[in-house]
Amino acid sequence: MQGMDAVDVIVSQWAEERPDVDASPMHVVGRIHRLAAELDQFLAPIFSAHGLGDGEFDVLATLRRAGAPYELSPGDLGASMMVTSGAVTKRIDRLERAALVTRRVSERDARARLIRLTVAGRRLVDTAIEEHVANESRLLGGLNHTERDTLAALLRKLGASIEKAGPPDLHR
């Protein structure tokens, strides 16, 4: 059928085989799940061209967005990036070896560390973010600005709905 994608086919197959199960949520969740995997493939080459993985780019971008002096604690980095402290440490270690960030003891608390962008790190992330945003714009080229705004609002609403729903209760 013209205009159908793989998710439409899957939902119609379920409707045929299990008409008692409403598979319509797959129209949204299935597409988002598939698109997330595709987006990773289309975003990664920009990061890779700069010698970065998406996690390292995320650290550099988070520090850059923080504003001068482009410095945050590992905990603040992890909260902003929604990753574990172990993942943050690994990313910081790699970026420190590449001289893109430095790690120093906090003047306020000798137990705390602060991570700061180096000049080289700032130059790299400033170049990479321009290419990254241009790539994202290219990927959204089939949508006009109104459609982009509508989609962004709907995804924000979906995010709140998912957060409110929480994980499934498997013990009902």
Please name the amino acid found at residue 148. R
Provide the residue ranges of all domains of the chain, joining segments of one domain with +. 1-15+23-49, 53-161
- pLDDT tens string for the chain (172 positions)? 568 889 999 999 999 999 999 999 999 999 999 999 999 999 999 999 999 999 999 999 999 999 999 999 998 898 888 788 888 899 999 999 999 999 988 777 777 889 999 999 999 999 999 999 999 999 999 999 999 999 999 999 999 999 999 999 888 6
CATH class assigned to 53-161: mainly alpha
pLDDT of 26 reads 94
pLDDT of 1 reads 53
